[in-house]
Structure 1
């Protein structure tokens, strides 16, 4: 099951990253797909696909580099680095996707701007002994 779930996510992302077209991704999502992001209300399938199309569409030109793709049971984790064209911001993203009946049923996304990574570690530095 783990390898099959990883393949589902790889197939969904391959077309999206290559062309910016959300059709392949859309066909891999369940109808009741829910997307979660800290500090925001959950998104429906339709809402999330519209946001992805805006970010990755042909006119946006975001580059996505998959750094890690890991699977465990019904969850697949994608660690990626994303860049906007030119001098746009660079972000690192971790997506956790839950697979149900061969489709992506739920997703959680954590985003960190690379430029802010060092500042976000200050809380950690104070806890070391």
Structure 2
């Protein structure tokens, strides 16, 4: 089951990354799919797919390198580095996907600009004045 879930996520993301095919991605999502970002930001399948479609043009030419795909039970974790077009910033992204009945049912996404990594390594320290 773990390998099957990993393959489901990899196929869904490959189509989007390689061709921008949002409809293929949509077919991999359950009707009750929910996408989460840090804080109280969550979106439904329709809301998230609309955001993905809206980002296709400004992010055209974005380079994506997937470094790790890890699976455990119904969860698949993808760690990637992305370079935005036109010399935009490099970002590190961790996506966590939950798969049920052959479809992606839930996703979490954390994005960190690579230029801010050093500052974020000491996030617990009081601000220096």
Q: Same fold (TM over 0.5)?
A: yes
With over 3 angstroms needed to count, the CA separation of the structure-2 counterparts of 1:59 and 1:37, relative to structure 1, is closer
Runs of 4+ in 1 over 6 A off after TM superposition: none
Equivalent positions of 1:116-127 (< 5 A) are 116-123=116-123
Q: Which residue of 1 aligns with 2:38?
A: 38
For normalisation by structure 2, the TM-score amounts to 0.89
Q: C-alpha root-mean-square deviation of aligned residues, in Å?
A: 1.7
Unaligned runs of at least 5 residues, structure 2:
none
Aligned length in residues: 125
Q: Does the 8 Å CA contact 1:21/1:53 hold for their aligned counterparts? A: no
Q: CA deviation at 1:36?
A: 0.5
Structure 2 CA distance, aligned partners of 1:54 and 1:89? 19
Unaligned runs of at least 5 residues, structure 1:
none
Q: CA deviation at 1:60?
A: 2.6
Equivalent positions of 1:23-62 (< 5 A) are 23-55=23-55, 57-58=56-57, 60-61=59-60, 62=62
For normalisation by structure 1, the TM-score amounts to 0.89
